[in-house]
Amino acid sequence: MTFKAPANLTIVNHPLVLHKLTLMRDKNTPTAVFRQLLREISLLMAYEVCRDLPMTTRHIETPLEPMEAPVIKGKKQVIVSVLRAGSGLLEGMLDLIPSARVGHIGLYRDPKTLQPVQYYMKVPEDIAERDTFVVDPMLATGNSVAAAVDRLKEKGAKGIRLVTLLAAPEGIERFHKAHPDVPIFTAAVDSHLNDHGYIVPGLGDAGDRMFGTK
């Protein structure tokens, strides 16, 4: 397919990210290593995702003199993990933003229709007052995460960013059409989706590889 990347797509193609991603793609990489690599990549991605957070200053005193020092403005962020694979990205992001609140949303893909079915949702009550980072490692059809963002917007979430590890052009297009206001961060955009909705060449089923369930 001809793919026109939306302006608010950021590909975090830092050499460290790409190297670790290659190790994750390798089918011989064991579960524990896969999980550790995902944690490391998500920490590196969080750095980029937070780049344009609004800043303010706080009056402090260094050992030498008082100063107006930069701090991130407003309430801390909410990281919403799309179960179950989102938890892999969540860990690394929390390493970097430990005071972020955490939400969870559970959606599974109906294997026949590939449409999302919600089975769980719990997010902070004050989500509307925070920036929201939605984490889901695989942006495949885009249906599940678009539905997750629908639910979060219904709860008043604003300033939403989507953080994903790998994306398919089809998923980016579908998600961007549903939520053109939501910037997408990914480490790579792969070739296409196969008939089962898997990203090719991809890395297989992220949940299974992370938890060793297959």
> Given the rule CB under 6 A, which residues bind ligand URA?
85, 138, 140, 197-199, 202, 205-207
CA-closest candidate to residue 25, choices 38, 39, 44, 12: 38
205 is catalytic: yes
Of 131, 208, 209, 213, the catalytic one is 208
**What minimum distance in Å lies between the beta carbon of 138 and ligand URA?**
4
- 66 contacts: CB under 8 Å, gap ≥ 6: 59, 60
* CA end-to-end span of the chain: 31
Q: How far is the CB of 37 from ligand URA (least distance, A)?
A: 15
Active site residue 208: yes
CB 182, min distance to ligand URA, A = 19
- C-beta of 138 vs 172, nearer to ligand URA: 138
| Residue pair 187/89 in contact by the 8 Å Cβ criterion | no
Choosing from 10, 29, 84, 109, the catalytic residue is 109
109 is known as an active-site residue: yes
Q: How far apart are CA 214 and CA 208, in angstroms?
A: 6
DSSP code per residue over 113-160: T--EEEEEEE--TTGGGSEEEEE-SEESSSHHHHHHHHHHHHTT-EEE
136 is catalytic: no
CB closer to ligand URA out of 82 and 182: 82
Which residue number, 78 or 80, has a Cβ lying nearer to ligand URA? Answer: 80
**Bridge partner list, 188:** 166
* Residue 42 · residue 91 · CB < 8 Å: yes
Active-site residue, selected from the candidate residues 2, 51, 62, 113: 113
Q: Which is nearer to ligand URA, 48 or 208 (CB)?
A: 208
Q: How far is the CB of 47 from ligand URA (least distance, A)?
A: 24
Catalytic residue numbers, as ranges: 109, 113, 205, 208
